[in-house]
Amino acid sequence: MRHPRLACSLTIAFGGTGTRGNSPMANGKWTKQELLSKPIKHVDITKFDGRSIIDSYRNMAYSSRTLANAADIYSMMLKDKECGVILTLAGSLISAGLKKAIITMLENNMIDAIVSTGANIVDQDFFEGLGFKHYIAPGSPEAPPVDDMTLRNMMIDRIYDTYINEDDLRACDHATYEIFNAFEPGAYSSREFIEAMGAYLANNSKYAKNESIVKTCYQKRVPIFVPAFSDCSAGFGIVLQQTEAIEEGRGQVAFDSGKDFRELTDIKLACKDTGLLMLGGGVPKNFAQDIVVAAELLNERKGGKARGDIGMHKYAVQMTVADSRDGALSGSTLREACSWGKVDVVHEQMVFGELSALFPILASDAYHRKAWKARKGFKFADLFEKGDGMPTFSKGKLAKSK
């Protein structure tokens, strides 16, 4: 997963003049306040109607036609009342301005479960739920006015053409530490930790009005799974919690990735048909696809057939810029996944293109076609019992459950 905070030694430093065009900053240099002055604004899919674009794209070629096909398949998922829709997220999508679109889909029962990288859920969405922002970087990545070493020294992190205040990220790290520290010692799924994060935002007057996918999922009972949970601010939070617990001689909390897999597989077992809407690839893509095989293995334990008793994902759409020719999973085709018994090939579509440009059109198209009005959310989060060790919240304060 691309995460600049964990790979700062690999960044490439570009020379910069310290000016925007011909207008020098104070003393010929940028200040941190100037660099972090223009927040990213999230696209609102209710404000434009994507249907006319999709209708036009059907009669075009290349990515326009595949996007139209993908939009039709997603609409089919929403019309199928027996189908649970699983959204997967990889890459830096929330920082790019897609948060509000996903929240609109959640609020209107267009998504039933999420599998994501940790950066999208914790470093970007929970981060914004705490009131922090992402910022538009001046200039361009090809000709930046400030080099990356200078950004590092100013505590500014860069995601291509977007800036983040590292001081704010440290506050986010500490918030995850506080939440994790409120759990009783033991191992928990990422879903349990993220549910606690959603409750923390929803029940705290300081944060309750902030838009957040984590908060909305908690309220709509949509579970979020992050199989590589350590690879984000949650990882820093767990390192702080475990180190402090060791020093003080008390119990530690830990991430149980096996429980993540079992719980997500329980959703497949509980739902007759499933559809995948995959933004990017990576671990979330494979994790969501693999639950078909895991469900088969559990079915075989009870005498079921290896192929046939458990349905493959009935619908599947993936948007990605990854190449299929290197054998890596991110760009592997959905037809290839059929050979593994994961995805049916009747209703599947690969869309090769950049997500921030294409996904809002698909989402707006689905929103305005209104197939979601006839469906109810599955509330899959209610499948799982609340563990005894999870914290409770009262007026924004954390209290350990006994």
Give catalytic residues, as residue numbers. Answer: 342
Q: In angstroms, rounded to a whole number, what is the distance separating the alpha carbons of residues 393 and 202?
A: 9
Tokens of 48: 């434009």
H or E stretch covering 346: strand 343-352
Closest CA to 293 of 330, 318, 268: 268
Q: Is the separation of the CB atoms in 64 and 353 below 8 Å? A: no
Q: Is the dihedral of CA 317, 323, 324, 328 positive or negative?
A: negative
Q: What pairs with residue 164 in β-bridges?
A: 157
Q: In angstroms, rounded to a whole number, what is the distance separating the alpha carbons of residues 63 and 329?
A: 20
Q: In angstroms, rounded to a whole number, what is the distance separating the alpha carbons of residues 291 and 148?
A: 41
Q: Which residues contact 124 (CB under 8 A, 6 or more apart)?
A: 92, 93, 94, 95, 99, 134
Indicate the DSSP class of residue 61: -
Give phi and psi for 15, each to the nearest 5: -70, 150
> How many helices (H) and strands (E) would you count in the chain?
15, 15
**Can you say whether residue 70 is alpha, beta or left, with left for phi > 0 and alpha for psi between -120 and 50 degrees?**
alpha
Q: In angstroms, rounded to a whole number, what is the distance separating the alpha carbons of residues 59 and 64?
A: 9
Give phi and psi for 198, each to the nearest 5: -65, -40
Question: What HEC string does 373-400 produce?
Answer: HHCCCCCHHHHCCCCCCCCEEECCEEEC
> Which residue in the block uniquely carries the two structure tokens 């563990």?
387
H or E stretch covering 152: helix 148-153
Q: In angstroms, rounded to a whole number, what is the distance separating the alpha carbons of residues 45 and 318?
A: 19
